[in-house]
């Protein structure tokens, strides 16, 4: 019999399936999958980074479903969880990084503290990047359209620093600064994003820091074409957290 998926594996499956749906231009399917992923993260009490990513993506799901108040609620919850994750990194003792060869193991033993601090620093920068993405998504929800200026620049700098200058999000953000017609359509962007996530999964080791890396990469950025197609936000009753 095939082994059952762990809650974390099930969450990853729902989240990547949502990406695949957007790559097919199936926005309603993606929204349903990301809301289900957020419900799973809550019910199974997944690690804080994954919960943060789940809330952010649920915010996008509600936003593209024209439920702005629910979207803002989830973006707020995502930001709080990224702040808590960042705080927990500062409080945790340093751990040696994993090594995949004798040579790297010897280096890890000799330079334990230096390697561990580098790993901890990357985790902290990933948390800040994901928090900045969430802030930009929230700004898109409030602005009901294209966001320019400080929000965009902060996210672009953070993405280049942590995910690299060729990450899909940077191409989208470059289009923010010029003309919407220069941005690849949503399906093309989310296909590139899906490819990058699947590549990460192939080379990822199991650790808390890998949770943070994966969660940051699965903290989605809403394509401006998806937001621009929606009506301006209206005053609604805020959602109540189901915790």
Count: domains in the chain: 1
Own/partner long-range contacts of 71-75 (Cβ < 8 Å, ≥24 apart): 71/141, 72/138, 72/141, 72/142, 72/238, 73/238, 73/239, 73/241, 74/38, 74/239, 75/134, 75/135, 75/137, 75/138, 75/141
Structural domain for 97, as ranges: 7-145+186-228
Residue 164 lies inside a defined structural domain of this protein: no
Distance CA 112, CA 96 (A): 6
Residue 11 lies inside a defined structural domain of this protein: yes
Q: How many CB atoms lie within 10 A of CB 139?
A: 17
Q: How many CB atoms lie within 10 A of CB 129?
A: 25
Cβ atoms of 207 and 123 closer than 8 Å: no
Which residues are CB-neighbours of 36 under 8 A, at least 6 positions away?
A: 14
Using DSSP's 3-state secondary structure scheme, residue 121 falls into helix
Using DSSP's 3-state secondary structure scheme, residue 231 falls into coil
Q: What is the pLDDT of residue 227?
A: 74
Helices (H), the chain: 7-23, 27-43, 48-64, 68-91, 102-110, 112-143, 150-162, 168-176, 186-203, 208-217, 224-228
Residue 173 lies inside a defined structural domain of this protein: no
Residue 59 lies inside a defined structural domain of this protein: yes
Residue 204 lies inside a defined structural domain of this protein: yes
Q: What is the pLDDT of residue 110?
A: 63
Q: What is the pLDDT of residue 38?
A: 98
Q: What is the pLDDT of residue 140?
A: 86
How far are the Cα atoms of 48, 50, 63, 184 from residue 19, in angstroms, in the given order? 21, 16, 15, 16
Residue 219 lies inside a defined structural domain of this protein: yes
Residue 174 lies inside a defined structural domain of this protein: no
Q: What is the pLDDT of residue 4?
A: 87
- The reply to whether the predicted model has a pTM over 0.75 is yes
Cβ atoms of 15 and 57 closer than 8 Å: yes
Ranges of the chain with pLDDT below 50: 1, 94-97, 206-208, 235-243
């Amino acid at each position: 019999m095939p082994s059952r998926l762990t809650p974390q594996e099930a969450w990853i499956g729902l989240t990547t399936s949502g990406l695949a749906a957007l790559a097919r231009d199936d926005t309603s399917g993606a929204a349903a999958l990301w809301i289900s992923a957020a419900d799973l993260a809550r019910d199974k009490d997944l690690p804080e980074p994954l919960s943060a990513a789940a809330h952010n993506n649920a915010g996008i799901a509600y936003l593209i479903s024209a439920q702005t108040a629910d979207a803002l609620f989830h973006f707020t919850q995502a930001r709080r969880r990224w702040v808590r994750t960042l705080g927990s990194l500062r409080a945790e003792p340093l751990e040696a990084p994993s090594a995949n060869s004798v040579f790297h193991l010897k280096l890890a033993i000799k330079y334990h503290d230096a390697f561990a601090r580098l790993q901890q620093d990357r985790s902290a920068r990933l948390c800040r990047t994901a928090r900045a993405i969430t802030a930009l998504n929230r700004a898109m929800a409030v602005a009901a359209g294209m966001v320019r200026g400080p929000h965009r620049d902060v996210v672009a700098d953070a993405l280049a620093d942590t995910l690299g200058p060729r990450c899909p999000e940077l191409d989208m953000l470059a289009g923010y600064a010029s003309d919407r017609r220069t941005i690849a359509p949503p399906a093309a962007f989310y296909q590139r994003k899906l490819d990058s996530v699947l590549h990460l999964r192939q080379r990822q080791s199991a650790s808390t820091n890998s949770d943070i890396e994966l969660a940051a990469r699965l903290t989605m950025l809403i394509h401006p074409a998806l937001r621009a197609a929606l009506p301006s936000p209206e005053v609604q009753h805020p959602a109540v957290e189901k915790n």
